[in-house]
């Protein structure tokens, strides 16, 4: 029998490997477009935020696979590229100031900083706001990947 932790890791890996633009919901597509526009405008900091289970991390995996950005689950001491995504960020002012210092020291051109609520100091902001049908589409994506939606977060099971 597979442990719950091993099952979660397998599910995460399947979703991460399958991440592509075709699997984005309309809300994720909108956020992706906004992020690309801010990058074209040479914004150094972009704050992607939204509620838990909205698909922010999934969107980050798609961004990583379709651009030159590198994804990290936390602020990295030695980023591999000048365009990075830092997930699971702290939106408090002290953390965002530290991020600005970190970006300056490491020569980062652009940082997408992912938080659950808007960060206190990072602009511009891109909100991932799930709309009608968002979670239904996520559930359909899970089914297409042969993942058990009964083990998904409650919002996806609706």
pLDDT in tens, 104-134: 999 999 999 999 999 998 889 999 999 999 9
In CATH, what number is assigned to the domain containing residue 124? Answer: 3.40.50
Question: Which domain covers residue 57, as residue numbers?
Answer: 4-157
pLDDT exceeds cutoff 70 at 2: no
Average pLDDT over residues 141-147: 88
Please, what is the Cα angle at 45 between 112 and 76, to 5 degrees? 55
Q: What confidence category does residue 28 fall into, taking pLDDT thresholds of 50, 70 and 90?
A: very high
Q: What pLDDT was estimated at residue 139?
A: 87
pLDDT band at 158 (very low <50, low <70, confident <90, very high): low
pLDDT at 97: 92
Over the chain, what is the mean pLDDT? 90
Q: How far is CA 15 from CA 34, 46, 132, in A?
A: 23, 24, 22
Instruction: Please name the residues in contact with 150: beta carbons below 8 A apart, sequence gap of 6 or more.
Output: 157
Please give the Cα distance from 37 to 157 (Å, whole number): 33
Q: Residue 158: which residues within 8 A CB-CB, separation 6 or more?
A: 135, 136, 139
Sheet holding 125-127, edge to edge: 70-72, 83-86, 110-115, 45-49, 125-127
The model's pTM = 0.91
10-14 long-range contacts (CB < 8 A, ≥24 apart) are 11/147, 11/151, 14/145, 14/147
Q: What is the pLDDT of residue 149?
A: 79
How many domains would you assign to the chain?
1
- Give me the mean pLDDT over the 52-65 stretch: 94
Q: Is 122 helix (H, G, I), strand (E, B) or coil?
A: coil
């Amino acid at each position: 029998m597979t442990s719950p932790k091993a099952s979660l890791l397998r599910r995460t890996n399947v979703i991460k490997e399958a991440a592509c633009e075709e699997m984005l919901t309309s809300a994720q597509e909108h956020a992706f477009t906004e992020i690309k526009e801010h990058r074209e405008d040479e914004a150094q900091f972009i704050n992607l935020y939204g509620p838990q289970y909205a698909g922010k991390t999934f969107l980050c995996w798609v961004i990583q696979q379709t651009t030159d950005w590198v994804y990290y689950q936390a602020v990295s001491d030695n980023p591999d590229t000048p365009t990075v995504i830092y997930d699971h960020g702290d939106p408090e002012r002290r953390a965002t100031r530290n991020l600005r210092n970190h970006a300056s020291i490491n020569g980062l051109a652009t940082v997408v900083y992912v938080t659950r609520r808007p960060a206190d100091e990072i602009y511009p902001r891109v909100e991932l706001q799930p709309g009608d049908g968002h979670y239904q589409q996520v559930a359909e994506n899970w089914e297409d990947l042969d993942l058990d939606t009964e083990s998904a977060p409650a919002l996806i099971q609706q």
